[in-house]
Amino acid sequence: MPILETAQGVRIHYESVGEGPTLVFMHGWAMSGRVWQTLEGMSDRYRLIFLDLRGHGLSAAPDSGYSYENFADDLVDLFGALRLDNVVLIAWSMGVQIALQAYPRLEERLAALVFVAGTPRFTAGEGYPHGLPSNETRGMALRLKRECAGTITDFSRRMFAEGEILPGEAERMSFEEILTKLPAFGDPCFC
């Protein structure tokens, strides 16, 4: 099980399969690198790196340090430790915000950025009416504390259109490792 200890002392899990041009995959909130697992068939042509963000998957869950800047620091540390250059960075959902945060420090090491279903904000706000109302995100934070598994299940199901994934697949992607770690988040990083 490959583990990287970051400069902040956080143990980050990642998987690396295949050889060839490198593609690094970043998941979204309440997911893990396993969300990209169906792409492993590309490992005959590419080196695929799937990381688990801190507090997600098999990575450590410190008591604090869940800002986009902290996540970006971990990503930069991964690039440095693995000596990654000329990489295609593929980020989904919250991973897009992390990639954007890390971009100034990774720009020279990237061949391309690919953003999948990213949003500039999770919540609606002045100048951005497209997110969830702030009272709904506060409600979600309360539901996480009261009934974590059900809240994550609901959140995971709403990320996919009907028929996009197999029944039960959303739960498998998020539950196996993340549920025991979510209380470490305190206030979720919704904004």
CA-closest candidate to residue 145, choices 101, 96, 184, 189: 184
Instruction: Return the pLDDT at 170.
Output: 58
Instruction: Return the pLDDT at 182.
Output: 42
Largest CA distance in the chain: 47
Instruction: Map out the domains of the chain with their CATH numbers.
Output: 3-185 (3.40.50.1820)
Residue by residue, pLDDT tens for the chain (191 residues) are: 799 999 999 999 999 999 999 999 999 988 889 889 889 999 999 999 999 999 999 999 999 999 999 999 999 999 999 999 999 999 999 999 999 999 999 999 999 999 998 887 778 889 888 888 888 878 887 887 788 777 777 776 676 677 766 666 655 554 444 444 443 433 343 33
Q: What whole-number distance in Å separates Cα of residue 33 and Cα of residue 57? A: 7
Given a contact cutoff of 8 angstroms between Cβ atoms, the answer to whether 137 and 123 are in contact is yes
Instruction: Return the pLDDT at 178.
Output: 43
Estimate the crossing angle of helix 169-178 against helix 148-158, to 10 degrees: 140
Instruction: Return the pLDDT at 186.
Output: 39
Instruction: Return the pLDDT at 160.
Output: 67
Q: What whole-number distance in Å separates Cα of residue 60 and Cα of residue 43? A: 26
